[in-house]
Amino acid sequence: MIRSLCLLAVLAVAAPVSAQEVPFAPGSPENRFVPESQAEMRMSFAPVVREAAPAVVNVYTSRTVRQRVGFFSNRTREREQNSLGSGVIVDPSGVIVTNHHVVNGADELRIVLNDRREFEAEILLTDEATDLAVLKVTTDEPLPVLAYDNAGDHEVGDLVLAIGNPFGVGQTVTSGIVSALARTDVGETDFASFIQTDAAINPGNSGGALVNMDGELIGVNTMIFSRSGGSNGIGFAIPVELVSRVVDSALTEGELIRPWLGARLQPVTSDLAMAFGLDRPRGALVNEIYPGAAADDAGFEQGDIVLAVDGHDVNNDSGILFRLATHNTGEDARFTILRD
């Protein structure tokens, strides 16, 4: 069962330090290494946390709901429904990104910073299809921000930290690795291409940060796979490529314009791979092209197999939609296709 990570409660209206300081090694591919000594094993994540944690906030929402009193009565009463999530400050002027499911239907939004300052927030944009929302608070001084990982060079096995407010206990940091990339077969969003991690994330972590060892944002934690509701080491984050696109849309256009390829695709199965002479199942087969759409204008043909978009391998329409969604309006996307 896939569970979103918003922590929900209903209330009545009436009612690890390291033994020594060591230099912080950047996380670029050429500087990655496996610890080989006891001293290396005692290296601390504290420098990363000091850099990243101040930009992760708690998001408190409240909404008024009506509930029927008894089974055979038409009388109703109002109750205040409170929920808790997390968010990430991405602009010093007070712009915060979180999940759509954290703020959906909220009558009131309150942001609490790591240093316990509180702000009322307004919604600039919220989008169910990407499960992202952009909030804004008014502040007289710049707020700490979490920089985007623009390199996008993280790999399976890289160390990551998840920062959020699980179960409302307060800001919490957990560590893990990138377990998988480009997971497109989980969740209910239209633009699915999640980062999977085994860093412990729980209800209340929704909208929180997944950061690399450079203290940069690589994703926004959004859901877990769990039968009990707690962390089983299978969590998912929305990649920063899509996060930054949604934030830019909120600040410049005020809305998110959805990409449309104008073609119907299907994953290449083992049977299709054999029929097309492929060495293995890969890519997405173009079944139909809609006249006048982008795919038609670009010269796509029925029977083409899309192997990659902008150099990133894709295997289904969700992966392709995600790659398109990371582009600004009017930009080109480069497709690698197999024909004949």
pLDDT score of 6: 45
pLDDT one-digit tens code per residue, 150-169 = 887 888 999 999 999 988 88
Per-residue pLDDT, averaged over 104-109, amounts to: 87
Q: What is the CATH number of the domain that holds 304?
A: 2.30.42.10
Mean pLDDT of 22-45: 67
Q: What is the per-residue pLDDT for 12?
A: 31
What backbone torsions phi and psi does residue 335 show, to the nearest 5 degrees? -105, 140
Query: According to the model, what pLDDT value does residue 138 have?
Result: 93
Q: Are both 129 and 169 inside the same structural domain?
A: yes
Kindly tell me if the per-residue pLDDT of 4 is higher than 60: no
Residue 2 scores a pLDDT above 60: no
**Does 62 participate in catalysis according to the annotation?**
no
pLDDT at 13: 31
Nearest C-alpha neighbor of 174 from the set 331, 66, 309, 56: 56
What is the domain range of residue 137?
1-15+45-258
Beta carbons within 10 angstroms of residue 110's beta carbon: 16
Residue type, 210: L
Residue 14 in this model has a pLDDT that exceeds 60: no
Same domain, 253 and 228: yes
Active site residue 206: yes
* pLDDT at residue 70 in the model: 62
In order, the DSSP letters of 153-211 are: ---TT-EEEEEE-GGGS--EEEEEEEEEEEE-SSSS-SS--EEEE-S---TT-TT-EEE
Is residue 28 in a domain? no
Overall number of domains in the chain: 2
69 vs 159 pLDDT, higher one? 159
pLDDT at residue 256 greater than cutoff 70: yes
Report the pLDDT value the prediction gives residue 7, as an integer from 0 to 100. Answer: 42
Assess whether 237 and 270 both reside in one domain.
Answer: no
Q: How many residues does the chain have?
A: 340
Mean pLDDT along residues 108-127: 92
Are both 302 and 206 inside the same structural domain? no
State which amino acid sits at residue 148.
Answer: Y
pLDDT given at position 289: 94
Residues 177 and 69 reside in one and the same domain: yes
Q: In the structure, what pLDDT confidence band is assigned to residue 303 with cuts at 50, 70 and 90?
A: very high
129 within some domain: yes
Supply the CATH number for residue 219's domain: 2.40.10.120
Residue 37 lies inside a defined structural domain of this protein: no
pLDDT digits (tens, 9 = 90+) for 197-234: 999 888 888 999 999 999 999 999 998 876 666 667 78
Q: Give one word for 217, left, alpha or beta, with left for phi > 0 and alpha for psi -120 to 50.
A: beta
Return phi, psi of residue 224, to 5°. Answer: -130, 160
- Quick one: tokens of 175? 């560590």
Of 83, 86, 127, 131, the active-site residue reads: 131
Is 327 one of the catalytic residues? no
Q: Which of 205, 236, 258 is the last residue of a domain?
A: 258
Q: Over range 77-100, report the average pLDDT.
A: 88
Phi then psi dihedrals of residue 35, to 5 deg: -55, 135
Catalytic residue among 4, 86, 100, 101: 101
Query: Is there a domain that residue 32 lies in?
Result: no
Q: Which residue among the candidates 86, 206, 226, 249 is catalytic per the annotation?
A: 206
The answer as to whether 23 is a domain residue is no
pLDDT for 63 equals 78
Q: Are 309 and 298 in contact (CB under 8 A)?
A: no
Q: What is the DSSP string of 215-283?
A: S-EEEEEEEEE-SSSS--S-EEEEEHHHHHHHHHHHHHTSS-PPP---EEEEE--HHHHHHTT-SS--S
pLDDT at 263: 92
Q: What's the CA gap between 339 and 322, in Å, rounded?
A: 23
**Residue 11: burial class (beta carbons within 10 Å; 0-12, 13-18, 19+):** exposed
pTM of the model: 0.79
Q: Are residues 287 and 160 in the same domain?
A: no
